[in-house]
Amino acid sequence: MLRTRFAPSPTGDLHVGSAWTALASWEMARRSGGVLVVRIEDIDPPRVVKGATRSILDDLRWLGLAWDEGPDVGGSCAPYIQSVRAPLYESVLDGLAARGLTYPCDCSRAEIARVASAPHAGEELVYPGTCRDADPAREMKRAPALRLRVPPGSVGFEDGVMGHFAHDVLRAVGDFVLRRGDGVFAYQLAVTVDDAAMGITDVVRGADLLSSTPRQILLARMLGAAAPRYWHVPLVVATDGTRLAKRTPGGTIKQLREAGLSAEEIVRTLREGLATNGTWRKEPWPIPAAWCRIPSPR
């Protein structure tokens, strides 16, 4: 049975871009008689905004996008809140460590930046492998991060929306972090472990995560899990093509709702943007000009 999920980070109100991926997951589940899971990705404490989980869930319900398993409805894969799933991530890390697949790294960002190959604008630094062969019992300069020993070779997949995508993870990002020095589990780890543990067959999310996918497929393989199918929908942008920011007028569902738009109207507009005659849109979708004329939030 198809199982898909919507996995918001509670960093603020539900924005139009997230609502669009939620709608795409919801439709995929409803069309196939599958299951929609909602999972709250709150593993990074400084980014979590108080009250955001409640407000995101309220907005989803108001839009009519009900889910089958999630934080407030329960389900066989509970809990659906990442901050309380830490013991699972910890045990997965223990398993990888026991197989010699991880190592501690006490490099600072600045140290990595000095040696890393210069990335293209906007890309992540490629970790040069400084600590790969260092003695793990050495005295650390600071609380170390834990990194995955990434095998060389291309990791590719067929995206349901964007088509073929592949890269060599070692060359593109290097041995990536699974747990930061401050003890916070990395998104790449938590998302891969949870998608596997929750039996997710189809991941629908924004195209900004396309380049994370080879890392997650690689990690899933190393954990002996089947990687899900992926559907990366284009980003929702402001009318001038720039990324939606928190303060973009008309950028959140709450603003549209307070301005008097109905849930039906919003969902209909988002649905029209997502696909035409069953063919997924591939280019970024600018929000309707009328939505941008809604007064900016204070």
Q: Which of 196, 238, 245 is nearest to 218 (CA)?
A: 196
Asked if residues 217 and 172 have their Cβ atoms less than 8 Å apart, the reply is no
By CB under 6 A, tell whether 188 contacts ligand GLU: no
Among the listed residues 50, 141, 246, 282, the single catalytic one is 246
Site track 190-209 with ligand GLU (rule: CB under 6 A), x = hit: -x-------------x---x
Can residue 41 be called a binding residue for ligand GLU (CB under 6 A)?
A: yes
Question: Measured in whole angstroms, how far is the alpha carbon of residue 262 from the centre of its chain?
Answer: 28
For ligand GLU, which stretch binds (CB under 6 A), given 3-11, 51-59, 160-168, 243-251?
3-11
Residue 9 in contact with ligand GLU, rule: CB under 6 A: yes
Query: Measured between alpha carbons, how far is 266 from 184 in angstroms, rounded to an integer?
Result: 36
Please identify which residue in 4, 7, 155, 236 interacts with ligand GLU, judged by CB under 6 A: 7
The Cα–Cα gap between 170 and 255 comes to 42
Count of residues engaged in binding ligand GLU, rule: CB under 6 A:
7
Tokens of 102: 């991880």
Stretch that binds ligand GLU, among 5-13, 150-158, 217-225, 272-280 (CB under 6 A): 5-13
State the number of CA atoms in the 13 A half-sphere of 177 facing the CB: 21
- Report the amino acid identity of residue 206: G
In the complex with ligand GLU, the residue whose CB is nearer, 170 or 191, is 191
- The reply to whether 254 belongs to the active site is no
Contact between 251 and ligand GLU by CB under 6 A: the answer reads: no
The region, left, alpha or beta by phi > 0 then psi within -120 to 50, assigned to residue 51 is left
Q: What's the min distance (Å) between Cβ of 200 and ligand GLU?
A: 10
* Closer by beta carbon to ligand GLU, 125 or else 209: 209
Rounded Cα–Cα distance for residues 95 and 101 (Å): 9
Active site (catalytic) residues: 246
Binding site for ligand GLU (CB under 6 A): 7-9, 41, 191, 205, 209
